[in-house]
Amino acid sequence: MPRISILIAESTCLIRKGLSSVIQKLGNVEILQSVSNKVELCDVVNRLKPDILIANPDMLDSNCEDLKKPFITANKMSLILISEDKSIEAKYNAEAFVHYKDDQSKILELIEEIVNQKAEKNRTNKSNDTLSSREQNILKHIALGLTNKEIADQLFISIHTVVTHRKNITQKLGIKSVSGLTVYAILNNLISMDEVK
Amino acid sequence: MHIKENMKMADVIQMNYMLIPVIHRFGIELGFGDKTVAQVCKDSVVDLNFFLQLVNAYHDQDYFPKEELQTIPVREIVAYLKMTHASYLNNTVTEIEQKIISLEQEGSEDKKYIALIRNFFEGYKTELTDHIMREEDVVFPYVLAVDEILKTEQFTGKNKEVFESFSIEKYEEEHDDIEEKLMDLRTIMIKYVAPPANTNLYHSIIQDLFRLEEDLNYHSRIEDKVLIPKIILMEKSIKNLF
Q: Cβ–Cβ of B193/A176 closer than 8 Å?
A: no
> Which of B125, B177, B184, B191 has the most A C-beta neighbours within 10 Å, making it the best mutation to test the interface with A?
B184
Contact list, A176 vs chain B (CB under 8 Å): 180, 183-184
User: Containing domain of residue B226, as a range?
Assistant: 73-241
- Among A19-33, A82-96, B118-132, the range scoring the smallest mean pLDDT is A82-96
The DSSP call for residue A195 is G
CA distance B89 to B216: 12
Residue ending a domain, among B68, B88, B108, is B68
Residue B35 located in a structural domain: yes
Whether residues B59 and B129 share a domain: the answer is no
Which residues from A are below 8 Å from B192, CB to CB? 184, 187-188
Query: Taking 50 as the threshold, does the pLDDT of residue B171 lie above it?
Result: yes
pLDDT of residue A1: 54
**Ranges A165-169, A175-179, B109-113, B218-222: which has the least confidence:** B109-113
The rounded distance, in Å, linking the Cα atoms of B92 and A29 is: 33
- pLDDT tens readout for residues B84-95: 999 999 999 999
Please name the residues in contact with B74: beta carbons below 8 A apart, sequence gap of 6 or more: B143, B144, B146, B147, B230, B231, B234
What pLDDT score does A151 carry? 94
Report the side by side order of strands in the sheet with A96-99: A29-35, A4-9, A52-55, A78-83, A96-99
pLDDT, tens only, A42-57: 777 777 778 888 888 8
Whole-number pLDDT of residue A64: 47
Q: Looking at residue B109, what is its pLDDT?
A: 67
Q: Using CB atoms, which residue from A174, A179, A193 is nearest to B187?
A: A174
In Å, how far is B42's CA from the nearest CA of chain A? Answer: 39
pLDDT at A63 over 50: no
Instruction: Indicate if B140 and B214 belong to the same structural domain.
Output: yes
Do B161 and B218 have their domain in common?
Answer: yes
Is residue B194 situated within a structural domain? Answer: yes
Domain identity same for B38 and B77 = no
| Same domain (yes/no): B47, B91 | no
Residues B144 and B39 occupy one common structural domain = no
Q: What is the predicted pLDDT for the residue at B207?
A: 94
Section A21-31 average pLDDT: 83
Q: Tell whether the model's pLDDT for residue B143 goes beyond 90.
A: yes
C-beta separation of A66 from A49 below 8 A: no
Final residue belonging to a domain, choices B68, B83, B105? B68
Q: Which residues of A touch B188 (CB under 8 A)?
A: 175, 180, 183-184, 187
Same domain, B59 and B79: no
Q: Are B107 and B35 contained in the same domain?
A: no
Long-range contacts of B238-241 (CB under 8 A, 24+ apart): B238/B146, B238/B149, B238/B150, B238/B163, B241/B150, B241/B153
Helix (H) or strand (E) run with residue A4 in it: strand A4-9
**Alpha-carbon gap, residue A71 to A141, rounded angstroms:** 43
In a domain, B1, yes or no: no
Residue B153 at interface with chain A, using a CB cutoff of 8 Å = no
ipTM score of the complex? 0.77
* Measured CA distances, B43 to B3, B28, B48 (Å): 18, 9, 11
- Res. B195 pLDDT band, cuts 50 70 90: confident
Last residue of a domain, one of B51, B68, B85: B68
Measured distance CA(B189)–CA(B1) in Å, rounded:
35
**Number of separate helices (H) and strands (E) present in chain A:** 10, 5
Residues listed for chain A: 197
Mean pLDDT of chain B: 87
Q: How far apart are CA A136 and CA A179, in angstroms?
A: 16
Beta bridge partners, A35, equal A9
pLDDT band per the 50, 70, 90 thresholds, residue A68 = low
Residue B178 falls inside a structural domain: yes
For residue B163, tell me if it sits in a domain: yes
Binned at pLDDT 50, 70 and 90, residue A28 comes out as confident
Range picked from A55-69, B25-39, B157-171 for highest mean pLDDT: B25-39
Of A69-78, B48-57, B181-190, the least confident: A69-78
CB B184 to CB A175 under 8 A?
Answer: yes
Q: How confident is the model at residue B41 (pLDDT cuts 50, 70, 90)?
A: very high
Contact B183 A176 (CB under 8 A): yes
Same domain, B192 and B219: yes
Same domain for B140 and B162? Answer: yes
CB-CB neighbours of A124 under 10 Å: 9
Res A150: pLDDT: 94
- Specify if B4 maps to a domain: no
**B145 assigned to some structural domain:** yes
**B2, part of any domain:** no
For residues B46 and B90, state if they share a domain: no
Q: For chain B, how many structural domains are there in total? A: 2
Q: What are chain A's domains?
A: 4-125 (3.40.50.2300), 133-195 (1.10.10.10)
Q: Give yes or no: residues B80 and B159 share one domain.
A: yes
Q: Where are the alpha helices (DSSP H) in chain B?
A: 9-15, 19-25, 37-43, 48-59, 66-69, 74-87, 93-105, 111-134, 140-152, 157-165, 168-174, 180-187, 199-221, 228-241
Q: What is the pLDDT of residue A180?
A: 92
